[in-house]
Amino acid sequence: MGVKLEIFRMIIYLTFPVAMFWVSNQAEWFEDHVIQRKRELWPPEKLQEIEEFKERIRKRREEKLLRDARQNS
């Protein structure tokens, strides 16, 4: 039973990554499922809000770094 089990495990170990690679490289499937789901979860309005938030955080971090540099000089 040990050899048969090892052969089965090796088939699974080799088949799963190859199957995932094949599925993820199917352009139609990717467009239909992944891109559409991403658009449902993150509509363009929401993405714009996230970008604005990132920009505000970036500006605050730069201002803090400038203030700290001026105080240390």
Residue span of the structural domain in which 66 resides: 42-72
Same domain, 50 and 25: no
As a 3-state breakdown, the chain gives helix, strand, coil percent values, each rounded to 5, of 90, 0, 10
pTM for this one? Answer: 0.45
The encoded tokens of residue 4 equal 């048969």
Give how many domains the chain has, as a whole number.
Answer: 2
39-71: pLDDT as tens digits: 888 888 888 898 999 999 999 999 999 999 999
18-33: pLDDT as tens digits: 998 998 788 887 788 8
pLDDT at residue number 67: 94
Same domain, 53 and 67: yes
Q: Which amino acid belongs to residue 4?
A: K
The encoded tokens of residue 9 equal 């495990």
